[in-house]
Structure 1
Amino acid sequence: MGEMVTLDEWATRHGYGHNTVRNFWAIREDFPQHKQYRPRVGSGARSEEYDTDELDAWLARWHEHRRPTRHEMPDQPEEYRTLGAIARLLGVDSKTVSQYRGVMDENADHEDRGQRRFYRTRDVVDVLNTRQGHGRAVDPDTDRRRRMLGR
């Protein structure tokens, strides 16, 4: 049995908002149940405490289920191609690749040829395969949803 924490404490440890955990995850049937109540301080409500081992195991399953599909490395991975050409090569919609253009510019070797930018195929596939998954921002500090919630 792990440490006993409130959902707010656990959410903060993992970089999630309390509202996300309370309103979207804690209502799921497979979400761990609280184990005990924290002693009341003053006249406030009692806080439910959860086992961190159970919560962490649940979160690992949650992320594994939502992990992005891995892409196999295509033939001639050192060749430079446009993002659209790489998307066609991988058999995905071009937006699947082009939505990460900023990340590709930072992490994938590329060269400009006139009006077009060509990226090394291997680097683009590597970036796609290291995505964090649904609902996880590449840079949490610039995540629009967190700014709106003040987190």
Structure 2
Amino acid sequence: MAQLVTLAEWAQRHGLTLTTVRTQWAYLEGFPPPVCHRDRPAGTGSGGRSREYDLPQLDDWLAHWQAEGRPNRHVMPENPEEYRTLGAIARLVGVNGKTVTQYRDLIDQRADYEDRGARRHYRTRDVVDFLNQRPGHGRASDPASDGRRGTTL
């Protein structure tokens, strides 16, 4: 027998808000359709019945969506222990400089660096490792500061 959940129950299981699920995901092609409706408890008044979804189908869809949204992994360049600017590291791995510099505050917390006059130089290995660990589309690097989620994962 299939395990059935409402979208609200499923969102809560994954630390998402129901609004995110309804407005951003439920309309996407391939999102599982409801399989039945849950009857309202007796004496609860009027209103629509809750749609129920197959839990494994929803979880499979989410895993696939997250995998598709993951950023590309970057190959470690030569001399990964060398200290370089973020712009130089971006060029080495073949991405726009903003792809790297948008994470400057997080990189500062996680990477070794040296201040060399007006420029900060980072150990290349630390920055590339950080880029490869980014969670991907729809996921904040710092879940505690992500206002899109009802709870943290």
Q: TM-score, normalised by structure 2?
A: 0.88
**Equivalent position to 1:109, from 96, 108, 112:** 112
Deviation, structure 1 residue 111: 1.7
- Name the stretch that deviates more: 110-119 or 72-81: 110-119
- Taking only aligned residues, the RMSD between alpha carbons, in angstroms, comes to 1.7
Instruction: Give the structure 2 partner of residue 82 of structure 1.
Output: 85
CA distance, structure 1, for counterparts of residue 108 and residue 12 of structure 2? 31
CA distance, structure 2, for counterparts of residue 79 and residue 23 of structure 1? 45
Instruction: Give the structure 2 partner of residue 134 of structure 1.
Output: 137
Deviation, structure 1 residue 121: 0.4
CA distance, structure 2, for counterparts of residue 108 and residue 72 of structure 1? 18
Misfit runs of 4+, over 4 Å: 144-147
Instruction: Give the structure 2 partner of residue 31 of structure 1.
Output: 31
- Equivalent position amino acid for 2:33 in 1: Q
Instruction: Give the structure 2 partner of residue 14 of structure 1.
Output: 14
CA distance, structure 2, for counterparts of residue 88 and residue 95 of structure 1? 11
Instruction: Give the structure 2 partner of residue 98 of structure 1.
Output: 101
Deviation, structure 1 residue 87: 0.6
CA distance, structure 2, for counterparts of residue 124 and residue 2 of structure 1? 44
- Which runs of 5 or more residues in structure 2 are unaligned? none
**Equivalent position to 2:62, from 59, 62, 67:** 59
Deviation, structure 1 residue 36: 2.0
- Equivalent position amino acid for 1:14 in 2: H
Q: TM-score, normalised by structure 1?
A: 0.89
What's the % identity of the aligned pairs?
Answer: 61
Deviation, structure 1 residue 2: 5.2
CA distance, structure 1, for counterparts of residue 147 and residue 10 of structure 2? 22
CA distance, structure 2, for counterparts of residue 2 and residue 102 of structure 1? 45
Deviation, structure 1 residue 114: 2.1
Question: Which fold has the larger relative contact order, with Cα–Cα distance below 8 Å and residues 6 or more apart in sequence?
Answer: 2
Secondary structure of 2:37's counterpart equals: strand
